[in-house]
Amino acid sequence: MSQDRSGRVAIVLGTRPEIVKLAGLVRLLGERSWVVHTGQHYDAELSDVFFAQFGLQPPLDALDVGGRTRGAQIGEATARLDALFTDERPAAVVVQGDTNSALAGALAANAGGIALVHVEAGLRSHDRAMPEEHNRVLVDHVADLCLAPTATSRANLAAEGIPDERIAVTGNTVVEAVQQLLPDPDERRDLLDSHGVARNGFVLSTFHRPENVDDAERLATILGQLGALPVPVVLPVHPRLAARVEGFGLRPRLDALHAVPPLGYREFLGLFAEAALAVSDSGGVQEEASVVKRPVVVVRRSTERPEVLGTFSELVAVGPDIGVASERWLDDPVAVHERLAAVPSPYGDGRASELALDAMAQRQLIKQRLLPEE
């Protein structure tokens, strides 16, 4: 592929969920996209494997802003992106979600007077203690086009005074990501065997949010609650969680769990679709629950995904409620799954990336509706 970047749509990403949720757009844009990885979480397990599984080319540019404080990461990434965009000016910049990389991409686009598109705009936890909340609010307010996944997120944007012409509701691009990579039943059976668990007979768990893992007591409580559940718990260990478990001397708490390295997206989805339940503080897992039709106990102070509360998700605080809520869901998992199978995902039907391109074309951020390249 030609390496000339000018005039392409720059897709700025830096973490696992951004790759998942931008993969569809990158595929539809083909050679008209220019993927820049900021290096916020550059690690084969959190990055390379995701590019490979989605069939994407490696990023054209890979920066190296990982392992710094939040301020230094945002500052460094903004400066590096500004230099890149000054050298070769993109037609538009696309960022996704609420990471430091998304904010840096937004600021660099703004500094260069380049049109900015925010995928997954308008989510609000209303929790000002979360760095992600500040990132998403800031990005939405500088974006020229806010792609809101649902009517709820559109209403959040409108309530902050963002005019209607800067908003389009598309659904969430995670739906097509799941549709693309969810393994078939045979591959799922192999996955269950390789993890030594049975269909509907285990819990899949992930934890990485600072509010949970950066506090020794909270983390000890979470791991204790998971270890006391009546079924096996598969816990892919995010690098941040691994560091905190070591730092707080909590390694023995993992003994009661099936702790594994971070999983590729296929493997994670395959297990999720076969699990009785997920217990997690992840954002994306709440949305994926509505596609694989499995419930998720969300262990957080707040959620920016209210659309699935009361159907696919239940919000609980750190403490005994983790066990109480999980055991209630585990009482009759098959009945729960049958009920959830009939509930449509509030995040759409898997056309969000296409609708995103339509909205960009309508506003002349790209020349025309772009069809997938052969």
Which residues carry out catalysis?
208
Q: State yes or no: residue 208 binds ligand UDP (CB under 6 A).
A: yes
Which residue in the block uniquely carries the two structure tokens 């209630």? Answer: 328
N- to C-terminal Cα separation, the chain: 13
Residue 31 vs residues 25, 40, 129, 216, 372: alpha-carbon distances, Å? 11, 24, 39, 46, 10
Shorter beta-carbon distance to ligand UDP: residue 20 or 359: 20
Q: State yes or no: residue 265 binds ligand UDP (CB under 6 A).
A: yes
Member of 24, 149, 262, 348 binding ligand UDP (CB under 6 A): 262
Torsional sign, CA 191, 195, 196, 200: negative
- At 245, the amino acid letter reads V
Residue 349 vs residues 70, 89, 372: alpha-carbon distances, Å? 35, 34, 18
Which residue in the block uniquely carries the two structure tokens 């400066």? Answer: 79
Task: Please classify residue 67 by burial: count the beta carbons closer than 10 Å to its beta carbon, then call 0-12 exposed, 13-18 middle and 19+ buried.
Answer: exposed
Least distance (Å) between residue 283 CB and ligand UDP = 4
Least distance (Å) between residue 177 CB and ligand UDP = 7
Least distance (Å) between residue 373 CB and ligand UDP = 25
Shorter beta-carbon distance to ligand UDP: residue 34 or 150: 150
Least distance (Å) between residue 87 CB and ligand UDP = 30
Of the ranges 15-23, 56-64, 116-124, 225-233, which one interacts with ligand UDP (CB under 6 A)?
15-23
Residue 146: which of 166, 174, 125 has the closest Cα?
166
Of the ranges 101-109, 135-143, 257-265, 315-323, which one interacts with ligand UDP (CB under 6 A)?
257-265
Shorter beta-carbon distance to ligand UDP: residue 98 or 354: 98
182 neighbors 159 (Cβ within 8 angstroms):
no
Of the ranges 115-123, 189-197, 279-287, 300-308, which one interacts with ligand UDP (CB under 6 A)?
279-287
337 neighbors 293 (Cβ within 8 angstroms):
yes
Shorter beta-carbon distance to ligand UDP: residue 5 or 195: 195
Site string for ligand UDP, 50-69 (x = CB under 6 A): --------------------
DSSP-derived secondary structure letter, 347: T
Shorter beta-carbon distance to ligand UDP: residue 80 or 208: 208
Which residue in the block uniquely carries the two structure tokens 């493997």? Answer: 267
Question: Which positions lie near ligand UDP, rule CB under 6 A?
Answer: 16-17, 20, 206, 208, 236, 262-263, 265, 268, 282-285, 288
